[in-house]
Structure 1
Amino acid sequence: MKQVRVAIVGSTGYGGVELIRFLLQHPHVEITSVISSSNAGESITEGYPHLQDILPVTVLDAVDPELIRRKADVVFAATPSGISGKLVPALLDAGLRVIDLSGDFRLQSREAYEQWYKHEAPEPAVLQRAVYGLAEVYGDRVRDAELISNPGCYPTAALLGLIPAVEAGAVDPATVIIDAKSGVSGAGRGLGINYHYSEMNENFKTYKINKHQHIPEIESVLSERAGSAVTATFTPHLVPMTRGILCTTYASVTNDAYRMEDAWISLYRQYYEGRRFVRIRDRGRWPATKEVWGSNYCDIGFAYDERTGRITIVSVIDNLVKGAAGQAIQNLNLSFGWDEGAGLQSAPVYP
């Protein structure tokens, strides 16, 4: 089988480096270009010495669609929001397949994007070409897509934990509350006072209350799956760890068939049957971020409260893998018809 040539725009960010780590072990791809708008001409090993003598191509290319076209068949765009929206149209015009990790194509509403992201939205003609890449739910749409919009890290954990419940009519969507915690790598490698060691060590804080850009992404997908508008409360928190997201989600149970935990376990195992990267815990066992560290798994557990009539859903992912690079590669595999787990079959790193 001919190797597919891959370029990574934004190679010097955490998401880009995770793409490199997994793609190096992928049986069907070859990394032919690593790209950085700010460090072109330098070696990627200057910022990431751990890649020395591992990565076959180390000199960072400039962002040039024509150069990328000559070197690659597929482009991963691991850029900050606001950049991909301007770059991706030229990549598509060059005949490249694009998997975008930035968030610029996750919302079909330009007005919603500009309200929440504070950037000019991509043109409608380009937005219409984007397929939302929540692999376990939209895998059939991803196949043969020319532009795949990789979900955000928080939405991945929250949506995988909620969609089966919403589709089954097991909960009242109007009562959904998502309490989410993330490690600081979710903020990227850029400097910011909130992420200094002395600010984060032995500290625990919330941020962007009612203003986080992932709120409309979560609500739009839940609304589609529910068949009616869903408004959720989502509150993100930073915890002093490098990797991981834990979503503790609460909702009122409206279907008597789901007033026991075994029914939840059965529902979710049936929903995700054959999807190897979602693991459902046994009754009385709830996942922890360390148990998916460095892997593409999403682990989910449940607790039903008879006193309040509410279900608690706990979902965990590694924000840099299942929440970014790993799911992007999973989407690559689906789009080419390869085994879904190609390049991703490593066990979580523990302890």
Structure 2
Amino acid sequence: MKKALKIVSSVIAILILLIAGYYLYQLYIVPEFTKLSVPTLSYPRQSVFYRYSLQLNGLDVIFGGQNMSSSQITTELKEDMKNIKSAGFDGVKLSYSFQSNNYLADRIALRAAQQGLYPIGLLQGHQAKPKDRGFTPEEMGEWQKFVRDEVSSNKNIIYFWEIWNEPSLDLFKYGSPEEFVELLKATYPVIKEANPNAKVVVTLSAEGRDNTGFEDQVLSLGGGDYFDVLSFHPYGANPYLQEDQIKAAIAREQSLVAKYNNQWPLVISEIGQPASEVSEEEQARLAKFVYGVAAKINLPVTWYYWSDERLPQNNGGMGQGANWGLIRYDGIKRPIFEAISGYLGSEKAE
């Protein structure tokens, strides 16, 4: 009996070691050997924002609105990235939040890279400080460490990093234009040191009719020396996509870049339209309009966002429960998917 128990204990110990070894291999070895070639384009041509929500639920987790085991998330992520690639996208945008655990974002970036997708990292810190000021020296040091750690650990797969999200808007404000320039000055060299091949993206306008003057103030203060790609989000309001505002925003940004001797390539690093605000058919028509206008001038577009399945249902807010996704909560593709398909997959970032 003792001999049998000893054998069983040995078998269990071996299984535990094998399982532990597998997870350690996935955690440390696989990322080291997953690499993407340095892109020649300044930004992926067609990318999509990957929004998600994760909550612990005992030994399981709630991923979006679905309860599943932690191991099942890996399977779901792999399938999502495969589907994004198959749809014709060549980039996936992910949020990296200051003073938060970004482990899952790193794993999503890894799964994206394994499918040949170029991850785009958005470095944001909206909840970490009051909006009416810049970082204190101590906070800035912590921010720089956060940036350095994320860029360094993903240097073989993430070549595009965006600093802050929509700083021109009160909702996401980072102090004054002068303070935002200081943030760029403090962040840009950290990114370049951690990954010399990285492209730094900044969004200085987030409205179709932008009367804030924020972007011109930042550029006149020399902020343009601390990024490589200039982004804008030509949103309207009710609905978010308005054809006249999109055209006007593109013309405004082209004029602004020309004023500064065309130093930066232009991209739309976020644009979307919730089907809760318009019909799904109108959502599809508006999206097709955006992609059509952008295609005429080779303007890269990032659609906001991939799937409602990965967010809580009926949770309210811009990013959650508002039906922005190309895919519904039930997993069915919206008409927008077919509407923009002809614009996807024509060029790659590599």
Whether these two folds match at TM > 0.5 is: no
Structure with more helix by fraction: 2
Structure with more strand by fraction: 1
Which has the higher Rg, Structure 1 or Structure 2? Answer: 2
Task: Give the TM-score normalised by the residue count of structure 1.
Answer: 0.31
